[in-house]
Chains A and B, each alone.
Chain A
């Protein structure tokens, strides 16, 4: 099971902060991040890319996004 970060409803920069914490903890692998604004979606994707992680999948749910980031 991939690491999960639920950042829905959190103000900037908390979604990025939590994502980077998970990335640093794992080093590599897969993290699923939940965010509910387009701003957070962009910020989390950008932060992941800057750490050498890729956005593997982006799923739009009814009220939020599911972003799967990974690094092999």
Chain B
């Protein structure tokens, strides 16, 4: 393998991956996923939290196969290319907390960095404020990095199990989805919760969602695609490598949306979005900062967890718990605006992240 050139990690490769994701996401939306939500790691993890009953928001309960596919695809790819390496132990609980607050911020805006780009590509002007917030949050994170911020070293795990548990949990969820499908017109199977209306009821056919998730999981594992790293590396190193991927995603998604008639420019009445721009900005500032401090966007955290990174799995679990907290305590925004406790939670999250940024230091 030593001489093997990882094409997808080249500039052309990552652009190709970005373009493919940019085509796949609007197609998933065309085939049934919620508007401007062909892929949204935060929203989809939130739906998974709902399907497990961690929150009981009736409109957002679905075991999203895309997310399961991301992890399983990255896992298979890492195995195939001998990159599966069980590891962990770099400030796991701090990462968990960063995951919780990343999700809280994302649900104040209503989308992760992936959906920020997809909302923009669908013509949603409110996402401009989210994008600027995201970049600002990442910029704040780069200041901490420059000053020596670090969560410390991971350790190579003594047991393979450390890296296997999260991918296998996803396999388990997938099996559950197949043996416990939604009974027609019912909000609950044997175990899993489902939605009868709302975003949780909107989804592409299971096998298509799963196939798309697996494909993206493989491509992203090979290319190291990361929507946060794209802006971070530009700000920190003036290096555009990952940014080319994000740019490819945006361009391809915009074109695909135009072709499919899914491009609707404007600010008012955008799907699953609100117009409280300060909170669109601050929600994504919080999310961007938390992703930067944790070393990857929510998608990248899933791909790394597939590679055996137990710390990334902890972060992803934090996001799922964060979704439950957000829905249980009124932190989540809706098309009417932010939730009753969304503002205070965002501010608390920013304070906590700044404290983490200031206190975690490389020796």
**A residues neighboring B (CB under 8 Å):** 8-14, 16-17, 20, 36-39, 42-43, 46-47, 50, 58, 60, 63
Most chain A Cβ neighbours within 10 Å, of B155, B239, B294, B296: B239
Inter-subunit contact B150/A13 (CB<8 Å): no
A7 and B87 alpha carbons, distance in the complex (Å) = 15
**Is B321 at the interface (CB under 8 A from chain A)?**
no
Question: From residue 270 to 327 of chain B, which have CB atoms closer than 8 A to chain A?
Answer: 294-296, 307, 311
* Residues of B within 8 A of A (CB-CB), count: 32
- Complex CA gap A20/B154 in Å reads 21
Task: Give the complex CA separation of A42 and B13 in angstroms.
Answer: 13
Contact with A along B200-238 (1 / 0, CB 8 A): 000000000000000000000000101001001100110
A-facing mask of B69-100, CB < 8 A → 1, else 0?
00000000000010101010010000000000
Contact B85 A14 (CB under 8 A): no
Contact A14 B362, beta carbon cutoff 8 Å: yes
Which B residues are CB-close (under 8 A) to A37?
A: 83, 85, 307
Cβ-based interface call for B156 (8 A): yes
Residues of chain A within 8 A (CB-CB) of B152 are 9
A7 to chain B: closest residue by CB: B153
Please tell me if B27 contacts chain A, counting CB pairs below 8 Å.
no
Q: Are B224 and A13 in contact (CB under 8 A)?
A: no
**B236 pairs with A13, CB closer than 8 A:** yes
Q: In whole Å, how far is B292's beta carbon from the nearest beta carbon of chain A?
A: 9
- Complex contact B151–A11 (CB within 8 A): yes
Q: How far is the CB of B143 from chain A (nearest CB, A)?
A: 13
- Which residue in B2, B6, B83, B150 is a CB contact (below 8 Å) of A60? B2
Q: Which residue of B lies closest to A6 (CB)?
A: B153
Partner of A14, one of B6, B150, B239: B150
A52 to B277, CA, bound (A): 43
Contact B145 A9 (CB under 8 A): no
Q: Could you list 7 further interchain pairs (A-B, Cβ under 8 angstroms) beyond the known A13-B232, A36-B156? A: A9-B87, A9-B90, A10-B154, A13-B229, A13-B233, A17-B146, A38-B83
User: What 10 pairs across the A-B complex have the smallest Cβ distances?
Assistant: A9-B153, A11-B295, A9-B154, A12-B295, A39-B224, A42-B9, A38-B83, A63-B156, A14-B150, A10-B153
C-alpha gap A42/B229 in the complex (Å) = 14
- Give the nearest-CB partner of A40 in chain B: B224
User: For the complex, what is the distance from the CA of A16 to the CA of B155, rounded to whole Å?
Assistant: 19
A14 to B224, CA, bound (A): 16
B64 in the interface (beta carbon within 8 A): no
- Expressed in whole angstroms, the Cα–Cα distance for A11 and B311 within the complex equals 10
Question: Assuming the A-B contacts A14-B145, A17-B145, A42-B224, are A9 and B155 also in contact, with contact meaning beta carbons closer than 8 angstroms in the complex?
Answer: yes
Closest B-chain residue to A16, C-beta based?
B237
In the bound complex, residues from chain A placing their C-beta under 8 Å from that of B115 are: none
Contacts A/B (CB < 8 Å), 11 sampled: A9-B156, A11-B294, A11-B311, A12-B229, A13-B145, A14-B362, A16-B237, A37-B83, A38-B6, A38-B83, A46-B239
* Contact among B9, B154, B237, B362 with A13 in the assembled complex (CB-CB below 8 Å): B237
